[in-house]
Amino acid sequence: MTPKTYRKKPVEIQAMRWDGTAEGASLIIDWVLANGGTATYLCANVERCAANDHDSPHWVAIETLEGRMCASLGDFVIQGVKGEFYPCKPDVFQKSYELVEEQ
C-alpha cells in the first residue's frame, strides 16, 4: 500500500486572538462559556499578581476534547466544527486559516 495525497476540506471556524490582557481573557472566556465550553484565567504566581507585579505569566485555560490546554499571549482560541474550543499558536493559525470577513 502506498500513501495517498489528501487536501484538508475548507471549513469556516470562529476564533479570537488573546492580547495578553485580563480584559481580553475575559472576552474570550465569556465567549467560550456562552457557547458551552469551559475556560478560566490562570496566573503563574498569585502572590505576585496580588502585589500588582504584572510580569507574572498568565494563561487562558480551556477544557478541550484532549484535556486542559492553555492559550498564551498572542495565541488564538478556536471554536471548531463540532463546537469544541482549543488554543492555536499564531504560526499554525496563519498557515491554516484566512479571514473570511471583518466583523
Q: Where are the domains of the chain?
A: 14-95
Closest CA to 75 of 64, 65, 60: 60
The three cell numbers locating residue 39:
475556560
pLDDT digits (tens, 9 = 90+) for 52-100: 656 668 899 999 989 999 999 999 999 998 999 999 999 999 999 999 8
- pLDDT at 33 (0 to 100): 97
Closest CA to 85 of 12, 18, 2, 28: 28
Cα separation, 3 vs 75, whole angstroms? 33
Cα separation, 74 vs 17, whole angstroms? 6
The three cell numbers locating residue 69:
490546554
